Structure 1
Amino acid sequence: MMMTTRTKLRALAVSSAALFTAGPAFAEMSAEELAKLAQNPVGNLISLPFQNNTNLNFGPREGTQNVLNIQPVIPISVNSEWNIITRTIVPVISNPSLYPGDDRTNGIGDTVFTAFLSPAVPGHWIWGAGPVLQLPTNSNSELGNKNWGLGPSVVVLHLEKGDPWVYGVLANNIWSLSSNQQGGSYNNGLIQPFVNYNFEGGF
């Protein structure tokens, strides 16, 4: 059995968002509004969230794995109606020993890049859809796969001014484009619901 604990460093995400947005519209936002915008995977805001996942009882020797995801989000304006939101996930992985005599393995895993097409002026319900690409950037064979991957991705969430709740779901599926490199073929699906409650002051 594998147990997972997740800690999302929202303070870092919010401080990064504030650092990268100097426009008057963002300057007029409260800390809570900036925090909610930073929690939006397709928000029109340059942000740098960090997500740390600690997986207990990982592998045949039931060690502890740690994965720090660095997730820069960069919006690109297409026109007055549409934005393309790029979301990159670079995992920094620390794997426990998997067999006797094996040492802990530390390094970079495979990078996942998504480009969401999303309305520039959404309502309370926000959506985005686009391709997701897996790049074989792993620094060690234990940390990833050498075959490129491609698939669809979609996100839907609810974000309303005055409502402290932000909730939604992100889903994607990535199929390997080849199978002749290290790691072989893969077919990886992800469904990630998320719920955030924002206290006054942006906490």
Structure 2
Amino acid sequence: MKRSKTGFEFKILTTIVFTLVSFAVIAQETEPKAGASAQELADKLANPVASLISVPLQNNLSYGIGPFNGSKYTINIQPIIPFKLTENLNLITRYIVPVVDQRDITGENTHEFGLSDATITAFFAPKTKGLILGIGPAFLVPTATDKLLGTEKFGIGPSVLVMHQGKGLSIGFIANQIWSVAGDENRADVNQFYTQIFLSHSYKSGASLGINAEITQNWEAKTTLISLNPSIGAVTKLGNQVVQFAISPLIPITGPSQIKPDWGLRVTLGFVFPGS
């Protein structure tokens, strides 16, 4: 049974409205901090719980997926918005809204396009230097506009960040575990763990080199997907707008044949709004 266009358009409209509201908040409440060096911004961008508003657009291309040699393009719209709770405590909210275009994934000569499920994470992060900690809830929101692009489940679970940061060097990991708690009873339950282990080094110019490993463990399906991703990036300006560029090959290490790609590429363009 096909979904109605009304439902599709409503989800698209909801996402657009949410994004525009976020940009409105950014524009009205935040001004770039004068005097921040390119390296300082690069270090802040390497810290997932920095008090820094940014809107990365993460483009992911994967090829050679599954028995039909499928391809998948995903653009993750990822606003990161901090809130000051006290002098010593911030709430860092991270949103991931994926838009997916995939071919020959669900079958030969198939094509799906639309929103996938959104992930929202909120980290309570004490203001510290050196060892940095963050902890809070993660939510899976069933925003997919095609049942083949989402779980049709609402999920929740814990998220955590542990990292050490000095000038020019960042190392740590971010992780979450999500269980489904509501949704379509005919769809498989969600029981999934995700972690990213990262290391990056920045330079005075704002350039950076890094590497990360991403691990996704689907406990329900008993599958593990691991990729290793070296990266090169830079912080610069386009006019008065601070931006970050990064490019990274996605090197698959292990995973089930039905979801593991042969290779992939990630290109990120981030709009940065330095806070106070």
Scaled by the length of structure 1, what TM-score is found?
A: 0.81
Question: 1:85 — aligned with what?
Answer: 92
Question: 1:180 — aligned with what?
Answer: 184
- For residues 89-128 of structure 1, the aligned pairs below 5 Å read 89-97=96-104, 98-102=106-110, 104-119=111-126, 121-128=127-134
SS in 1 for 2:55: coil
Instruction: For 1:167, give the aligned amino acid.
Output: I
SS in 1 for 2:171: strand
SS in 1 for 2:189: coil
Match of 2:165 among 155, 159, 173: 159
- For residues 1-203 of structure 1, the aligned pairs below 5 Å read 21-22=30-31, 26-97=33-104, 98-102=106-110, 104-119=111-126, 121-160=127-166, 163-178=167-182, 180-181=184-185, 183-203=187-207
The structure with more strand, counted as a fraction of residues? 2
Q: Which runs of no fewer than 5 residues in structure 2 stay unpaired?
A: 1-22, 208-276
SS in 2 for 1:47: strand
Question: 1:6 — aligned with what?
Answer: none
For CA contacts below 8 A with separation 6 or more, give which structure has more relative contact order.
2
Q: Tell me by how many angstroms 1:132 deviates.
A: 0.2
**Alpha-carbon distance in structure 2 between the residues aligned to 1:182 and 1:93:** 23
Instruction: For 1:132, give the aligned amino acid.
Output: A
How many percent identity over aligned positions?
A: 36
**Alpha-carbon distance in structure 1 between the residues aligned to 2:37 and 2:140:** 36
**Alpha-carbon distance in structure 2 between the residues aligned to 1:107 and 1:59:** 20
Q: Tell me by how many angstroms 1:143 deviates.
A: 0.8
**Alpha-carbon distance in structure 2 between the residues aligned to 1:82 and 1:124:** 16
The alignment covers a number of residue pairs equal to 181
RMSD of aligned alpha carbons: 2.2
SS in 1 for 2:188: coil
Q: How big is each residue's C-alpha offset from its partner over 1:31-81, in whole Å with a ceiling of 9 and x where there is no partner?
A: 111122122111101111232332232233121212221111111111111
Q: Tell me by how many angstroms 1:181 deviates.
A: 4.3
CA 21–40 in structure 1, closer or farther in 2 if over 3 Å, else same: farther
SS in 1 for 2:143: coil
Q: Which runs of no fewer than 5 residues in structure 1 stay unpaired?
A: 1-15
Q: Tell me by how many angstroms 1:182 deviates.
A: 5.7
CA 181–55 in structure 1, closer or farther in 2 if over 3 Å, else same: farther
Q: How big is each residue's C-alpha offset from its partner over 1:95-131, in whole Å with a ceiling of 9 and x where there is no partner?
A: 12231342x2121110000010001x21111110000
SS in 2 for 1:192: strand
**Alpha-carbon distance in structure 2 between the residues aligned to 1:198 and 1:52:** 22
**Alpha-carbon distance in structure 2 between the residues aligned to 1:67 and 1:131:** 24
**Alpha-carbon distance in structure 2 between the residues aligned to 1:37 and 1:21:** 16
